[in-house]
Structure 1
Amino acid sequence: MSAPLVDISSVSHRFGQHTVLKDVSLKIEPGSYTILLGPSGSGKTTLLSILGGFVTPSEGKVFIRGEDCTSVPPAKRPTTTVFQDYALFPHMSVGANVGFGLRMQGVDGATRAAKAREALALVGLAAAFDKKPHQLSGGQRQRVALARALVIEPAVLLLDEPLGALDLKLRRQMQDELKAIQKRVGTAFIHVTHDQEEAMALADHCVVMNDGRIEDEGPPERVYARPATRFSATFMGESTILAGTVTEATDRTSTVATPVGAVSLPGALPVGSAVALAIRPEHLVLGTAAGGVRLGTAGVSDVVFQGSFKRVLAASIEDPSVQFIAKLPATATVQPGDTVAISCDTDRIILLAD
């Protein structure tokens, strides 16, 4: 197996008495699109700053291409960073902005211009070479910042919430363009966001962070379908969480007592152990699921039409502290005040590690 492009080894960091990263280890493979996902204060931006050389960790090491870059300044490591505010020079042309990093490297003017044009063509802005940043839209300025970062051919491109300032439609368009550009250039992208939809749209490697630690990591499909922890299950998409206790177990199945009834799960679990079960909204059924498990009845409290589906909130009749979150077809006739049966296919129930 080839060595990772980036190897973050046991990194911790403190600002004064406040610890923002706690023994974080992470490997990034060449050509991957990695998303650091988490709420504000989870440590994801600090970790990106350490990768970019803007912050030196209190403990631990950062290796890029097998070399110790822990204390190497930003200009001397094989990374570039695209910030949320783009940081374009307003007095320079777009071409000069894109070529600025090459200018700092001592590249001659003709070569800078040629490479800047190539980079602008890569992001679909070949015609903008002589324009000024203020003449461009927000999405176009974002692509100029991307071209400026890519033109120096970094081993790793770091993106700090680069789409945060864009409206929803433009953000989704730029998600498609970012992924397409990353595939074309083959550079490893490491992208910070708190937007779970953005993470699932872009990543082939998703890293969920919380309170300075990595909660879960892997392909986004696995992290969503089989989250490792309760936090991951509730941050990477929504989930209904059921607390339970294992009451019976055989070699192949275990029975878990929950506030809404007994649930049978595959696999042997220790009798008496406390567990947490998660169910994604699209896997809850209002009514009876063929071959599924009944989860009692619930009173519908809210129905929100969201275009392609309806998001339904319902409180369990058996235990009102249990709030079911269901995602139903847009044509579903459910409405607030209805009392409905709740069920789920047993195979769709997620056993959480915590």
Structure 2
Amino acid sequence: MTAPLVDIRAVSHRFGQLAVLKNVSLRIESGSYTILLGPSGSGKTTLLSILGGFVMPSEGKVFIRGEDCTAVPPARRPTTTVFQDYALFPHMSVGGNVGFGLRMQGVDGATRAAKAREALALVGLASAFDKKPHQLSGGQRQRVALARALVIEPAVLLLDEPLGALDLKLRRQMQDELKAIQKRVGTAFIHVTHDQEEAMALADHCVVMNDGRIEDEGPPERVYARPATRFSATFMGESTILSGKVTERGDRTSTVSTPAGPVLVRSALLVGSAVALAIRPEHLVLDGAAGTASLGMAKVGDVVFQGSFKRVLAASVEDPSLQFIAKLPATATVQSGDTVAVSCDTDQIIVLTD
């Protein structure tokens, strides 16, 4: 089996008595776009800092291209980091900023300038070579930081919430550009974010972190459609969660008793075991449909128009503490105060046993 580009082995880290990473192991392949996704305090930024050499792990090893880089300083690693605040030198031209890493490597001025121009052309800023950073927009400065990181041709590019300071429209534009650039250069990108939509837009390898551990990892389509844990199901997109107990088991199905009534699921589960059923908003149906399983009646609370769809919150009539989250077409006529039948396609129910 081919060795991974990055191999993180049983890494733990503590700040004083606070454990921020707990026995994390992760393999990252060449040419991949990996997203480290999680809430504040999950350990994702600390893990990125360990990969970049800015933090030495309390325990464990980090291998890059088969070499033990655990104690190697940042300047000697085959990695470069793009920070959220860009960290550009205000007194230098854009070209000088982009070529700075090459200058530190002893590359001559003519070669530096040529490579800096190539890198700026790659990020769509060929005409900005002689400008100063303050003359550029936030999105343009982010591209300069990206060009500066790519010009030294790292094996791994580390991105620490690089789009966090941008407005929504620009953030989405930069997502498209980041993915396109990554495909063109072929460098492995490892990108930290707490934004689930950003993760799904960019990643081909999504790593969900919580409380210093990896909860789930894999292609974003799998992590979203079939999350491994309850936390992953609720953090990687929204879900309605039905807690229940298995009451009957067939060859390939089981019946689960829930606050919304008995639900048939496409899994053979142990009778008496406690499970949670997760249902994505797009799989909930209001006011019934042929071939769907009933989840009882619910009273509609909030209806929020979000452009291409309406996000609907509705409380179960049988158990008002149970909140359904549905995503309906923008043309749906449902209104706050309506009482509606709730159902779903049983094939789309996610069974969580953690």
Do they superpose with TM above 0.5?
yes
Secondary structure class of the residue paired with 2:262: strand
Match of 1:345 in 2: 345
Post-superposition CA distance 1:135-180 (Å, at most 9, x none) = 1111000000000000000000000000001010000000000000
Q: Aligned partners of 1:202, 1:126: CA distance in 2, in Å?
A: 25
Structure 2 gap ranges (5+): none
Deviation at 1:353, TM superposition (A): 3.1
Match of 2:262 in 1: 262
Match of 1:81 in 2: 81
2:278 touches 2:350 (CA, 8 Å); kept in 1? yes
Match of 1:44 in 2: 44
Query: Once structures 1 and 2 are overlaid, which stretch shifts more, 208-217 or 284-293?
Result: 284-293
2:298 counterpart of 1:298: yes
Post-superposition CA distance 1:51-86 (Å, at most 9, x none) = 000000000000000000001000001000000000
AA aligned to 1:200 is M
Q: Aligned partners of 1:248, 1:234: CA distance in 2, in Å?
A: 27
Q: Aligned partners of 1:111, 1:178: CA distance in 2, in Å?
A: 25
AA aligned to 2:157 is L
Match of 2:288 in 1: 288
Secondary structure class of the residue paired with 2:39: coil
Post-superposition CA distance 1:258-300 (Å, at most 9, x none) = 1111111123111000000000000000022322210000000
2:20 touches 2:46 (CA, 8 Å); kept in 1? yes
Q: Aligned partners of 2:348, 2:283: CA distance in 1, in Å?
A: 7
Secondary structure class of the residue paired with 1:86: coil
Q: Aligned partners of 2:270, 2:169: CA distance in 1, in Å?
A: 49
How many residues are treated as equivalent by the alignment? Answer: 354
Secondary structure class of the residue paired with 1:288: coil
> Where do 1:52-131 residues align within 5 Å?
52-131=52-131
2:187 counterpart of 1:187: yes
Secondary structure class of the residue paired with 1:215: strand
Q: Aligned partners of 1:353, 1:144: CA distance in 2, in Å?
A: 46
Match of 2:205 in 1: 205
2:277 counterpart of 1:277: yes
Identity fraction in percent: 89
AA aligned to 1:98 is V
Match of 1:13 in 2: 13
Deviation at 1:317, TM superposition (A): 0.5
Deviation at 1:91, TM superposition (A): 0.4
1:309 touches 1:327 (CA, 8 Å); kept in 2? yes
TM-score normalised by L of structure 1: 0.99
Match of 1:323 in 2: 323
Q: Aligned partners of 1:24, 1:289: CA distance in 2, in Å?
A: 45
Q: Aligned partners of 1:266, 1:326: CA distance in 2, in Å?
A: 22
Q: Aligned partners of 1:329, 1:265: CA distance in 2, in Å?
A: 26
1:6 touches 1:29 (CA, 8 Å); kept in 2? yes
Secondary structure class of the residue paired with 2:142: helix
2:282 touches 2:326 (CA, 8 Å); kept in 1? yes
Secondary structure class of the residue paired with 2:106: coil
Match of 1:140 in 2: 140
2:274 touches 2:353 (CA, 8 Å); kept in 1? no
Structure 1 gap ranges (5+): none
Q: Aligned partners of 2:253, 2:193: CA distance in 1, in Å?
A: 39
Post-superposition CA distance 1:112-135 (Å, at most 9, x none) = 111101101110111111111011
> Where do 1:212-251 residues align within 5 Å?
212-251=212-251
Q: Aligned partners of 2:147, 2:287: CA distance in 1, in Å?
A: 52
Deviation at 1:235, TM superposition (A): 0.6
Secondary structure class of the residue paired with 1:170: helix
Q: Aligned partners of 2:194, 2:67: CA distance in 1, in Å?
A: 30
AA aligned to 1:44 is K
AA aligned to 1:147 is A
Q: Aligned partners of 2:28, 2:203: CA distance in 1, in Å?
A: 12
Q: Aligned partners of 1:124, 1:103: CA distance in 2, in Å?
A: 22
Superposition misfits of 4+ residues, deviation over 4 angstroms: none
1:290 touches 1:345 (CA, 8 Å); kept in 2? no
Q: Aligned partners of 1:173, 1:260: CA distance in 2, in Å?
A: 41
Deviation at 1:3, TM superposition (A): 1.1
1:32 touches 1:187 (CA, 8 Å); kept in 2? yes
Q: CA RMSD in A?
A: 0.6
1:289 touches 1:345 (CA, 8 Å); kept in 2? no
Match of 2:173 in 1: 173
Match of 2:311 in 1: 311
Deviation at 1:257, TM superposition (A): 0.6
Secondary structure class of the residue paired with 1:228: coil
Deviation at 1:2, TM superposition (A): 1.7
TM-score normalised by L of structure 2: 0.99
AA aligned to 1:276 is A
Q: Aligned partners of 1:72, 1:84: CA distance in 2, in Å?
A: 23
